[in-house]
Structure 1
């Protein structure tokens, strides 16, 4: 099939917007051509500092379409006829009259000839580009009504080797504007000037000849490999940072990695401070020794090769970095001189949320909750309260004011500088963790207490004031907080009564909603891990101890993986379905003791006896938290249940026998439900 190549060439596009823009271009074009029956195939998206582009294949033309529609009766007049004529675009004499056997009706045969794809592209692309969803855009030029992220300079649009002609002007303009063509440009400095490209291969090759690597993934790989090789040559390694790698790949077209040196005078700064200053201010990569110590080297990526091996570029960047690290030194020295305690009064003037008070008020809540949690997680109560008191103090420090990414981390450093217990410093440094799915969770009891107190206060507070996540938004990152709580509990195997803990966090908190929210996050996490989230849902019941719920779920999964368990589940669902149908029909719920005198068949007597035997046994095993034992006891019902359904008719003609057998099924359902709600298990 013929190939389409579209490139939008502009002034420099912010790196953070490029990937999404390339995705939007492919999506919007696919949506625009779909009504014509055209489907993009073999789509490749490109993005970089000065261009977004895509290539794909499309049919040369749309297929001819013949469509038949039935309209109103042949004698119809007025709105019914007029509406049908408008919908079909045909005059009255262009309709056919057909006798359907139920009357004579009007029929329209609509024939649409195929159209060249190039024509459809020329019609679709201007409107598509005018409504392009940049997060921010700008106008430029005298009287221009067209907006783009940065001044748009060229539009390359070729299909099947020929330019697709259209002019890009804002709606309502006189039709003049930037016109499409076959030309693009290479590197601004190394290869100025335009060149023509009539397909994706010549476009990509022509750009490479002119010092532009079009593919963003290739630029990332070149940067990653080049920086790693330079670091290895010095016996060092690169501090991993995928986000920075993607951003730098969006800043350069012809990446040239180089190594610079950090002045030894700054090497006593915390490694996190140096890394953050280099990353945020200059987009430099931090290097470290094999043992994890910060190295006095950094990597930068230039956009041009240098005749002197990059010496001048490196020297210039070293000068800039000295200035940046001098600023960091100023904050570091001033903050240490003031001391962590001195920042606490400033929190009284910092609003956390209009409905939840100041940061100082929030700290008092975290302190109280940390005291409550400490004995539950094995932490010293007074030390946990002390760590909680200081955990937000660094928010008022100069360093965190400059680099918000370092909150918590700097508090830990300042606590150590003040000579506080190392466990307090670690708890302050770690209380925001986990920051993401790959971040480690706190494991020392005091750090666990403070981290949980911080997250549980956030959840309870925002739920209490009605600021809950919605399907379209979660502005206060409550889902992330919930996942953090879940990971801390799971990975430390904590035993927390969550209803009690939420009530302790905030007396007016909607405890039931909070627990449901947390359990739903647990199911989402398990689903993402490829685990049986339905098994966990069946194991919850009225329990609020995540560790116990998960242990019960593991035991239930082990049972369901056996033949006995699978058959027992099928029998349970059969019993539950019978009960649901009969209870609805009879208008009553079946529960209560089975009449032993009405157990006419030996199979129903055997089932009743088996239920009576395993009931106290499963209860005893559950109370001892021997969940494998409880599910093992439940598995003993498999044989008598199979025999019952094989030999006994539940809906007997004798009303008394029928009711008694329904009560027996109800007893079976109740015996299973005390171990797990098997009705929640997906087939």
Structure 2
């Protein structure tokens, strides 16, 4: 079957837009093909700095013919309805329609409409201009004399040419005839801007890709990345160094070149007195270059690797020299910033926070630091951290936000605070907390283990959550401008990974002290705990656990110790994977269902202890005895926080429950016996609530 080749050639497309643009092009074209009844075999899109390309193979040469029956008005119906039917179906006269009999509604006219399929190349000529005109660039522009025209093309950068060919692999393809804003589709493109700027005539994708490579253009972004990474590693290895890999930078650099050439440059050793992270940020952010480290020391070497877009006649010496000049100037600035920062102590910077608003409803950054400091001091003894160190760490943790280096490189906040704290002789735990109190910032980020860092990290995140809850700025749908979901997940990971015992309700209540606005002070802690429950469900689900078990545990009430909640959920999950667990769940749900029906019918609950004197069957007595035993053993195990033992105790209930439902008629004809048996069912429900609310468990 025929294949489609499409190329949109323009001025440089921003690297950050290329991957999504290629995916959008593939999606838009293939979606329209399918909508037109043209099911293809495969499609792949590519992007370079100057072109988007798409190949779709295995497309039918034409659409299938369509046959459709359309029901019309009743035979003998109004003439206006008949005339409308004829116009809509294209029939010349009503005699050309069939008559269909409906046993209930009588005879109706039926039109058989046959619509011949169109040639695919004609369909492409219709849909491709629309796709190009409606392409969803994040930012686009108009240019030239056409800019004032209504409906003129808006594109990310000036569009120069379009390739659109369609045909069988064994034949010469046809050009899809269309034009967009005066640019006619053809089969001509150009190669590398400098090394092969001449026009290239292409036919289909294999021919196109091969000719581009010969013209110094690597079409596949992944191939460019592989080349850059391999060549950069080799350059570093030859000099006895190792590349500091950076996937984000690699993605960006691959979007800046069509013919990648890795080159190595150097900078003065004096700049190695700057922290490695500052050197890397300077070289990475300003020149899009990689850094290398000495494997013997683990420290950066005074070398960098750049990616050129040309095979220079001088082997790249001029390009390297130009980059070295710029990098020297940038590193000189960074060195000046760093050395200037070291002259001012962190605490001497804090007065400026009095003039910096954190949020208009939550006060200044200075007021927030005081809240974090107080909360960290309250959390510290609960988790085994030194109170004085926690207060000092919280006091200094945000100070580096006012430094020159962080002003230049915001991504280094926290880390620079650690370096500056170390330089002024602060305790190691206090210095580490400056960096670590921001952690974890995602599911793969490490969790701090120093108790001082953990105390400050918890205080920082909980203050954020409580503050925004107090002013009713909660996440809604996909919107979370203050990253509150991430903060809650960070709290959960800090607690669970560090096996901390902490009452979320108590800490949230304490965090409200000092807030300018407190919202609904009675409702806020419980509402925030519910948010933590939702975040915990997300985390456990990502780890393969069942989210309904979290609901089952939180439904018990008072479950604000997240570590114990996780342990309960883990034990409950393991228990429900056993036959005893599954059968007990089924029996408990059966008891709950019967109780719900009967309580609704009688408009009452069946609380209270059953009367042992009304037991008439041995299965009733056995169940009552089992319930008493399980309540005692499971309750004792829960008190000891031995949830595995509690589940083992619950398993003993299973045979008695099975036997009861097998032999006992709950709705006995004798009212007192019926009531007593319903109370016994309520005892089953009450006994299982020692570990979880089984009614919340699915299955």
Q: TM-score range, shorter-chain basis?
A: over 0.9
Q: Is the 8 A contact 1:15 1:250 kept in 2?
A: yes
Shift of 1:416: 1.6
Q: Among residues 507, 519, 535, which one is paired with 1:521 in the alignment?
A: 535
Match of 1:623 in 2: 639
Separation in 2, partners of 1:89, 1:539 = 66
Shift of 1:592: 2.4
Determine if the alignment matches structure 1 residue 117 to structure 2 residue 120.
Answer: yes
Match of 2:628 in 1: 612
Q: TM-score w.r.t. structure 1 length?
A: 0.95
What secondary structure is seen at the aligned counterpart in 1 of 2:163? strand
Q: Among residues 594, 598, 603, which one is paired with 1:582 in the alignment?
A: 598
Separation in 2, partners of 1:104, 1:613 = 75
What secondary structure is seen at the aligned counterpart in 1 of 2:343? helix
- Segments of 5+ residues of structure 2 without an aligned counterpart are 168-172
Determine if the alignment matches structure 1 residue 633 to structure 2 residue 635.
Answer: no
| More divergent stretch after superposition (150-159 vs 538-547) | 538-547
Determine if the alignment matches structure 1 residue 470 to structure 2 residue 470.
Answer: no
What secondary structure is seen at the aligned counterpart in 2 of 1:554? helix
Q: Among residues 565, 571, 581, which one is paired with 1:555 in the alignment?
A: 571
1:462-515 alpha-carbon deviations (Å, 9 max, x no partner)? 122121112132111111111211111121111110111111122536222221
Determine if the alignment matches structure 1 residue 44 to structure 2 residue 44.
Answer: yes
The 5 A counterparts of 1:158-307 are 158-160=165-167, 161-169=173-181, 177-290=182-295, 291-307=297-313
Match of 1:69 in 2: 70
1:146-187 alpha-carbon deviations (Å, 9 max, x no partner)? 111111111111222222111113xxxxxxx21111122221
Determine if the alignment matches structure 1 residue 150 to structure 2 residue 153.
Answer: no
Question: CA 1:459 to 1:71, structure 2 compared with 1: closer, same or farther past 3 Å?
Answer: farther
1:8-58 alpha-carbon deviations (Å, 9 max, x no partner)? 111111111111111111222233233322334312121121112221222
Separation in 1, partners of 2:493, 2:84 = 61
RMSD: 2.1
Determine if the alignment matches structure 1 residue 512 to structure 2 residue 526.
Answer: yes
Match of 1:13 in 2: 13
Separation in 1, partners of 2:89, 2:421 = 78
Determine if the alignment matches structure 1 residue 313 to structure 2 residue 319.
Answer: yes
Question: CA 1:31 to 1:78, structure 2 compared with 1: closer, same or farther past 3 Å?
Answer: farther
Match of 1:383 in 2: 389
Shift of 1:233: 2.2
Separation in 2, partners of 1:89, 1:513 = 63
What secondary structure is seen at the aligned counterpart in 1 of 2:144? coil
What secondary structure is seen at the aligned counterpart in 1 of 2:529? helix
Separation in 1, partners of 2:44, 2:485 = 34
Match of 2:170 in 1: none
Determine if the alignment matches structure 1 residue 98 to structure 2 residue 100.
Answer: yes
Separation in 1, partners of 2:683, 2:44 = 61
| More divergent stretch after superposition (107-116 vs 14-23) | 107-116
Match of 2:406 in 1: 400
The 5 A counterparts of 1:281-680 are 281-290=286-295, 291-506=297-512, 508=518, 510-540=524-554, 541-542=556-557, 543-680=559-696
Q: TM-score w.r.t. structure 2 length?
A: 0.92
Separation in 1, partners of 2:608, 2:343 = 74
Shift of 1:77: 3.7
1:240-279 alpha-carbon deviations (Å, 9 max, x no partner)? 3211111111111111112221210100001110111111
- Segments of 5+ residues of structure 1 without an aligned counterpart are 170-176
1:575-617 alpha-carbon deviations (Å, 9 max, x no partner)? 2233333334444333322222332221122111100111122
1:59-96 alpha-carbon deviations (Å, 9 max, x no partner)? 22221111223244234448866876676566773644
Separation in 1, partners of 2:186, 2:24 = 22
Question: CA 1:293 to 1:118, structure 2 compared with 1: closer, same or farther past 3 Å?
Answer: same
Q: Is the 8 A contact 2:545 2:573 kept in 1?
A: no
Q: Is the 8 A contact 1:9 1:51 kept in 2?
A: yes
What secondary structure is seen at the aligned counterpart in 2 of 1:571? helix
Question: CA 1:404 to 1:564, structure 2 compared with 1: closer, same or farther past 3 Å?
Answer: same
1:90-143 alpha-carbon deviations (Å, 9 max, x no partner)? 677364433312212232322221111221121112222222111111001102
Q: Is the 8 A contact 1:32 1:128 kept in 2?
A: no
Runs of 4+ residues over 6 Å off in structure 1? 78-83
Separation in 1, partners of 2:90, 2:698 = 51
Shift of 1:201: 1.3
Match of 1:4 in 2: 4
Question: CA 1:503 to 1:113, structure 2 compared with 1: closer, same or farther past 3 Å?
Answer: same
